[in-house]
Chains A and B, each alone.
Chain A
Amino acid sequence: MSFIEKAVIMNQDEVTRAIKRMAHEVLEANNGTSDLVILGIQRRGVPLAGLLQEAIKGVEKVSVPSGAIDITFYRDDLSKLGPSPRVATTEMPLDVTDKVVILVDDVLYTGRTVRAALDVIMDWGRPRAIQLAVLVDRGHRELPIRPDYVGKNVPTSQKEVIKVKVMEYDGKQEVVVGEVQGG
């Protein structure tokens, strides 16, 4: 199974600009940073949450608490996929009860990951609200879930694969579209 890149749909600067815009949108919708908590979904949502946190700090000079969510034990498809050996950690910076959580992921697709992440958060506390920020919305939802903040809407076919690359894991920051062959 190999991944064939077809096109770069967001380069480094475009990703940075999108995140800056999303930071402004978050601040506008929530009237500032009070009670905000940013939680990234493992793995690529976590560095993106960090970028969003930095962008908010750049505007408001406030460092919003941030953490990470691992959804492995909340998947709805244990029998289909088998357990992922890539279990990462959930790190809650504080009690999320009565906070406004900005949930961050790289790509919004079927919505199942977000569904699982919502359950994880609920098991840690009862936030006042949860808002969803994604760098790419590629459509094909299987659940009634919608994002509050979107970096870029990318209409795709289900055969296509969207890859978000981040500095931490990939050494560069961009979004590419491609196809998996021989899968």
Chain B
Amino acid sequence: MSLKRKDVLGLEDMAAEEILLVLDIASQFRAVFDRPVRSVPIMRGRTVVNFFHEPSTRTRISFELAEKRLSADIVNFSVATSSFTKGETLRDTAENLQAMKIDMLVVRHKSSGSAQYLARVLKCPVINAGDGCHEHPTQGLLDIMTMRQRLGDLRGKRVTIIGDIAHSRVARSNIWGLGKLGAEVTVCGPPTMVPASVARLGVKVEYDLKRAVAKADVLNILRIQLERGAGSGFPGNREYHRMYGVTEDVVRTLKPEAFIMHPGPMNRNVEIASEVADGPRQVILDQVANGVAVRMALIYLLSGGDPGALAPGEAA
């Protein structure tokens, strides 16, 4: 079993076995973090380009750490410092990178489908670090890894995702990935942010927060994107918090072992109350640590040649 693909653009087209393979390798990388030397040499001499066409701190740093811990060479560029300000097209930028012999491209872009477009143009592997409202596969993988660490097999486990489901790439990657592993996903938020058509993705739609979380094993609380005006469907911070904010009152209604996730950065007292964000149920920092490991696993798996060439038991 290996990743038989050039790129990772989303979890929609990834098989359950592929997801489990990535998580398996990721857990091996987590063990590396506890050593005195927190990197391994396997990617020495390979160049990874991090191309962030949209502001990002945590995902970019997580990718950068993952690449450094694999001993890869790294080039970062973001839109502010690139020739995009001079009007260069995405394709020209990508082809220039290719001409300079890069080994992998990590791309974050505000337009859905941009990662797929680059994957088609470039010969090297492309990892989608978030494209518009489409997918954010590494976030989906790290969320699933965090859930599996606590719940084991996800078949039949109940995950409730709360927030702007319509515009969230995190929600979409979670929904695809969790569905493949057999979890039962419920989505919840104001009807303006959770169109009934979301049910087509194979999830349960619930507009009442307390009902949505009553049987949940995990809550995954999405960030309200205030910087984008949160869309015209957003009722306002106070009203949202009253209706869909996860507060101590909501937490008290959960199953005793249920836990709370958030992809960050948090808007305290909007989608999540400060006491909950700092409370005993949240596993947010586990998510952050798993994020680096998952990205290491993906980069490592996509860097290999023909995985079938290694005959079992015949390592020199």
Interface residue from A73, A80, A86, A112 paired with B42 (Cβ < 8 Å): A73
Q: Which stretch from A6-14, A17-25, A32-40, A119-127 is at the chain B interface?
A: A119-127
Interface residue from B31, B42, B301, B307 paired with A75 (Cβ < 8 Å): B42
Interface residues of chain A, those whose CB is within 8 Å of chain B, are 1, 43-44, 70, 72-75, 78-87, 89-90, 109-113, 119, 122-125, 161, 163, 180, 183
> Are B307 and A74 in contact, CB atoms less than 8 angstroms apart?
no
> Are B1 and A85 in contact, CB atoms less than 8 angstroms apart?
yes
> Are A81 and B316 in contact, CB atoms less than 8 angstroms apart?
no
B234 located at the interface, meaning its Cβ lies under 8 Å from any Cβ of chain A in the complex? no
Interface residues in B19-69 (C-beta closer than 8 Å to A)? 21, 24-25, 28-29, 31-32, 35-37, 40-43
CA distance A119 to B35 in the complex (A): 13
Cβ contacts A to B, 29 pairs, < 8 Å: A1-B311, A43-B313, A73-B28, A73-B32, A73-B40, A74-B41, A75-B42, A78-B42, A78-B43, A78-B305, A79-B305, A80-B305, A81-B305, A81-B306, A81-B307, A81-B309, A82-B2, A82-B304, A83-B303, A84-B307, A84-B310, A85-B307, A86-B310, A87-B24, A87-B25, A112-B316, A123-B36, A124-B37, A161-B314
Residues of chain B with a CB closer than 8 A to A112's CB: 316
Residues of chain B with a CB closer than 8 A to A86's CB: 310, 312
Q: Give B290-312 as 1s and 0s: 1 = Cβ < 8 Å from A's Cβ atoms.
A: 00000000001101111111111
CB distance from B303 to the nearest CB of A (A): 6
> Are B315 and A113 in contact, CB atoms less than 8 angstroms apart?
yes
CA distance A1 to B310 in the complex (A): 12
> Are A125 and B2 in contact, CB atoms less than 8 angstroms apart?
no
Q: A80-B305, A84-B307, A89-B31 are in contact. Are A113 and B36 (CB under 8 A)?
A: no
Interface residue from B2, B37, B311, B316 paired with A180 (Cβ < 8 Å): B311
Q: A73 — nearest CB in chain B belongs to which residue?
A: B40
CA distance A1 to B25 in the complex (A): 27
Q: A90 — nearest CB in chain B belongs to which residue?
A: B31
CB distance from A131 to the nearest CB of B (A): 20
Residues of chain B with a CB closer than 8 A to A70's CB: 28
> Are B306 and A85 in contact, CB atoms less than 8 angstroms apart?
no
CB distance from B4 to the nearest CB of A (A): 11
Q: A87 — nearest CB in chain B belongs to which residue?
A: B28
> Are B316 and A110 in contact, CB atoms less than 8 angstroms apart?
yes
Q: A88 — nearest CB in chain B belongs to which residue?
A: B28
Residues of chain B with a CB closer than 8 A to A83's CB: 2, 25, 300-301, 303-304, 307
Known: A78-B42, A79-B304, A85-B21; 4 extra A-B contacts, CB below 8 A, are A75-B42, A81-B306, A85-B2, A124-B37
Q: B32 — nearest CB in chain A belongs to which residue?
A: A73
Interface residue from B305, B313, B315 paired with A163 (Cβ < 8 Å): B313
Residues of chain A with a CB closer than 8 A to B25's CB: 83, 85, 87
Q: B300 — nearest CB in chain A belongs to which residue?
A: A83
Residues of chain A with a CB closer than 8 A to B28's CB: 70, 72-73, 87, 89
Q: A106 — nearest CB in chain B belongs to which residue?
A: B313
CB distance from B23 to the nearest CB of A (A): 12
